Amino acid sequence: MTKQGLPRPANDLWRSYVEEWDRSLRADNKPHTTRYNYELAVTQFADFLGGEELPQFLAETGMDDTDDSDADEDPTDVERKHVEWFIAWMIHTRSPSTALNKYKALQQFFNYLVDAEEIDRHPMAKLTQPTTTDKIIPVLHDDQLASLLDTCKGKTFRDRRDTALIRLFDDTGARLTEVANLTTNDLDLSRDGILVRGKGDRMRFIPFGERTGQALSRYLRARARLKGATDNPYLFLTARGAKQLKPNGIKIMLRRRGNLAGIPHMHAHRLRHTLSHNWQLAQGNESDLMVIMGWTSPEMLRRYGKSAAAERAQHTHRALNLGNRV
């Protein structure tokens, strides 16, 4: 890991290439989260090629293990088969969707090496990306959201903070990292909204309702009483040490609150999907939804709108009552 928390391969030559690539990503103004995910994939790939997992996996699956290259020590020696092994291993040990994300990250890395003229031919040329099952992420119904908020009833710092976080996610549909990185200056209680920095460092203002504003006001009073809070610019802080509550801390909180409410696998993305679901179910303007959610591709409307489309179809089916026509 670097001082910025970015992953790095164990091999020195691989590491130097990744660090050089990171400079290019910074020059392209790629956000920290994108750089982290890209570089994590390449680091995992390099360590996979140089570690014990590869020979074990090839032996278990019976895949061709013929390899006389130095790919484990030099990324310019990587061939198509190395990527295929890694993607197959990711599908085997993680999931197809995770494998797809790693595939896309490796593609960007080798695109850079081609553009930098470090390699003559892209090792992933004509390599088909892994297929994934397009799952519908379950949204929260109002009674579930109420149960989730009930777990935060109380006047402690954590209760005030967690109530504000849950309501903010539900009301704005903001991403996990967008909320975690909010500063006190990004919160505007005079206009009831937050200014978030999204993907590609694109800024957008998202309004919220009265109950969310009330929850945030109550949290701010609790925050002001927290020792050391005035020296920290981040909006959401830890109860101990008044440090920034980072994305992983919010993940743990939501999972814990979800378990208490009888909602397993609770995470911030479900609240983001819930906002999109309710918006589209209410037939809100899709272009406006794209602005609120920070999307640049209409494809995201289809992906996030699947649950609402399914529910609308069920309502229509019941209303038509075609089974009783005879």
Question: In this structure, what CATH number is given to the domain that contains residue 239?
Answer: 1.10.443.10
Do 102 and 196 sit in the same domain of this protein? no
More confident residue, 53 or 1: 53
Do 218 and 294 sit in the same domain of this protein? yes
Q: What is the residue range of 43's domain?
A: 12-115
pTM: 0.69
Asked if 67 contacts 30 with a C-beta cutoff of 8 angstroms, the reply is no
Reported as a single tens digit per residue, the pLDDT across 165-213 is: 999 999 999 999 999 999 999 999 999 999 999 887 789 999 999 999 9
What's the DSSP call for residue 282? T
Q: Stretch 102-127: mean pLDDT, rounded?
A: 96
Q: Structure tokens of 286?
A: 């899709």
The span from the CA of 241 to the CA of 71, in Å, is 45
Q: Structure tokens of 271?
A: 């609240």
User: Alpha helix (H) ranges present in the chain?
Assistant: 12-27, 32-50, 53-61, 80-93, 96-115, 142-150, 157-172, 176-180, 210-224, 247-260, 268-281, 286-293, 299-304, 306-320
Do 53 and 93 sit in the same domain of this protein? yes
Least confident of 6-15, 44-53, 157-166, 298-307: 298-307
Do 170 and 290 sit in the same domain of this protein? yes
- Residue at 122 is within a domain: no
Do 150 and 262 sit in the same domain of this protein? yes
Do 152 and 299 sit in the same domain of this protein? yes
Write the DSSP string, 235-251.
SSB-TTTT-B--HHHHH
Q: Which of 115, 133, 166 lies at the terminal end of a domain, its last residue? A: 115
What pLDDT sits at residue 320? 77
- Residue at 55 is within a domain: yes
Write the DSSP string, 60-89.
HHT------S-TTT-GGG--HHHHHHHHHH
- 3 pLDDT higher than 80: no
Do 161 and 224 sit in the same domain of this protein? yes
Do 280 and 159 sit in the same domain of this protein? yes
**CA-angle at 117, arms to 102 and 83, nearest 5°:** 25
- Cα 45 to chain center, whole Å? 20
Do 179 and 304 sit in the same domain of this protein? yes
Q: Structure tokens of 322?
A: 């075609």
What pLDDT sits at residue 134? 64
The span from the CA of 244 to the CA of 250, in Å, is 10
- Residue at 74 is within a domain: yes
The span from the CA of 179 to the CA of 212, in Å, is 14
- Residue at 54 is within a domain: yes
Is the dihedral angle over the CA atoms 212, 213, 217, 223 positive or is it negative?
A: positive
Do 177 and 292 sit in the same domain of this protein? yes
- Residue at 126 is within a domain: no
Q: Stretch 225-233: mean pLDDT, rounded?
A: 95
What's the pLDDT band for 135 if we cut at 50, 70, 90? low
More confident residue, 64 or 106: 106
Asked if 198 contacts 32 with a C-beta cutoff of 8 angstroms, the reply is no
What's the pLDDT band for 241 if we cut at 50, 70, 90? very high
The length of the chain is 326
Do 221 and 303 sit in the same domain of this protein? yes
Q: Stretch 304-311: mean pLDDT, rounded?
A: 75
Q: Which of 115, 134, 166 lies at the terminal end of a domain, its last residue? A: 115
Q: Stretch 148-161: mean pLDDT, rounded?
A: 97
Do 81 and 154 sit in the same domain of this protein? no
State how many domains the chain has: 2
